[in-house]
């Protein structure tokens, strides 16, 4: 990573590396926009990751970018790993062990995944976990590397990508199915994270486009 940085190719671009070395990278190469939390950064032709395992995450991201999430999911299953890990590398930085069993949060996360079409609020998730909202926010962020609202956005957009690839539902229907209050807010969120509008994503990765391959 430091060799690549020394070439100047990353100047003005976003990048990451292992959490042990992000501070040093940022100090030695101030022209690079170092993100210390994420697992990888896609800067177009250059993709940097936060270590060897995160390199696999970056590779799966490339597969999804070029061939869609269904193909990436198939590759991930062959590798016996999660198709897209939630959260950033902050979750791997040593912290005191939480007294809350991880399975408790896993149960709540699955509960939320089954209700993505509903306008879920953090207080509802906290109630399902039998915690105060403040305690739930802290423990959820410690466990996943992101706050609940960001995690819900991640899950909703993941579901939206699957629906765009595998169904003929229109954008309004997908927005409702994924819990967005308006189709416009869905389009803005989708484009902000995925990089293209839902319609363009469907053209690239939908059923009809797959017939081309």
List, for residues 161-188, the tens digit of each pLDDT value: 899 989 999 999 999 999 999 999 999 9
Indicate whether 192 pLDDT > 90: no
Residue 95: what pLDDT?
A: 44
- Report how far residue 33's alpha carbon sits from residue 145's, in angstroms, rounded to the nearest whole number: 20
Residue 81: what pLDDT?
A: 78
Sorted by where each begins, the domain ranges of the chain are 2-79, 96-149, 153-210
Indicate whether 7 pLDDT > 50: yes
Same fold for the pair 96-149 and 153-210:
yes
**How sure is the predictor about 189, in pLDDT bands with cuts at 50, 70 and 90?**
very high
- Report how far residue 173's alpha carbon sits from residue 180's, in angstroms, rounded to the nearest whole number: 10
- Report how far residue 199's alpha carbon sits from residue 176's, in angstroms, rounded to the nearest whole number: 16
Indicate whether 207 pLDDT > 80: no
Residue 38: what pLDDT?
A: 84
86-144 residue pLDDT tens:
656 754 555 444 444 455 788 899 999 999 999 999 999 999 999 999 999 998 988 87
Q: How far is CA 86 from CA 15, 40, 143, in A?
A: 18, 12, 10
Indicate whether 159 pLDDT > 50: yes
**How sure is the predictor about 68, in pLDDT bands with cuts at 50, 70 and 90?**
confident
Mean pLDDT value across residues 1-29: 92
Residue 103: what pLDDT?
A: 57
**How sure is the predictor about 2, in pLDDT bands with cuts at 50, 70 and 90?**
very high
Q: CATH 1.10.10.10: does it fit domain 96-149?
A: no
Residue 196: what pLDDT?
A: 84
Residue 152: what pLDDT?
A: 94
The pTM score is 0.60
Residue 86: what pLDDT?
A: 60
Name the nearest CA neighbour of 171 among 158, 159, 181, 186.
186
| CATH topology for the 153-210 domain | Arc Repressor Mutant, subunit A (1.10.10)
Indicate whether 213 pLDDT > 60: no
H helical segments located in 68-132:
69-79, 102-113, 122-128
Q: Give φ, ψ of 64 to 5 degrees.
A: -65, -40
25-58 residue pLDDT tens:
999 999 999 988 888 999 888 999 998 888 998 9
Instruction: Domain 2-79: give its CATH architecture.
Output: 3-Layer(aba) Sandwich (3.40)
Residue 36: what pLDDT?
A: 85
């Amino acid at each position: 990573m430091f060799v690549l940085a020394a070439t100047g190719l990353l100047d003005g671009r976003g990048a990451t590396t292992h959490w042990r070395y992000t501070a040093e990278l940022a100090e030695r190469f101030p022209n690079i926009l170092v993100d210390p939390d994420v697992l990888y950064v896609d800067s177009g032709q250059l993709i940097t990751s936060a270590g060897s395992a995160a390199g696999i995450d970056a590779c799966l991201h490339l597969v999804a970018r070029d061939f869609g999430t269904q193909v990436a999911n198939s590759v991930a299953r062959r590798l016996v790993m999660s198709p897209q890990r939630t959260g950033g590398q902050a979750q791997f930085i040593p912290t005191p062990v939480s007294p809350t069993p991880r399975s408790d949060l896993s149960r709540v996360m699955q509960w939320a995944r089954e209700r993505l079409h509903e306008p879920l609020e953090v207080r509802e998730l906290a109630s399902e976990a039998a915690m105060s909202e403040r305690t739930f926010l802290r423990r959820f962020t410690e466990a996943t590397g992101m706050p609940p609202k960001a995690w819900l956005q991640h899950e909703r957009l993941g579901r939206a990508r699957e629906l765009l690839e595998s169904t003929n539902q229109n954008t309004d229907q997908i927005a409702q199915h994924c819990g967005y209050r308006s189709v416009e807010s869905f389009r803005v969120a989708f484009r902000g994270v995925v990089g293209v509008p839902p319609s363009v994503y469907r053209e690239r990765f939908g059923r009809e486009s797959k017939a081309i391959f």
